[in-house]
Amino acid sequence: MHTPPLSDYVRCLERDDWHGVGELMLASANKLAAIGADFMICPDNTIHQAFGYVQPRSPRPWLHIAEVVAAEA
C-alpha cells in the first residue's frame, strides 16, 4: 500500500486538476511496481476520475472499483 499525503490530493482537487491527481496516482504505482506489485487497486471513488490520465502510463494494471463490483454483480 502506498499513498501520497491526502493534502497533496486535496490541493489538486481544489483546483480541479485531474492531471495532477493522475500524476500522484502514477507516482504511487511506480513505487509499488518497483517493489513487485502485480496490480494496483484504488479504493477511492473521487480519484477514479483521473483514470484517463493514469491507465495508459501505468506500469501495472489497475482494478477500477466500479468495474470490479459491476462484474461481480
* Model pLDDT for residues 7-53, shown as the tens digit of each residue: 999 999 999 999 999 999 999 999 999 999 999 988 777 888 898 89
Q: Is the pLDDT of residue 63 over 90?
A: no
pLDDT at 9: 93
Contact 50, 18 (CB under 8 A): yes
Q: DSSP strand E in the chain: where?
A: 40-42, 62-64
The pLDDT of 43-70, averaged and rounded, is 87
pLDDT at 47: 87
Q: What angle (nearest 5°) sits at the alpha carbon of residue 19, between those of residues 70 and 54? A: 45
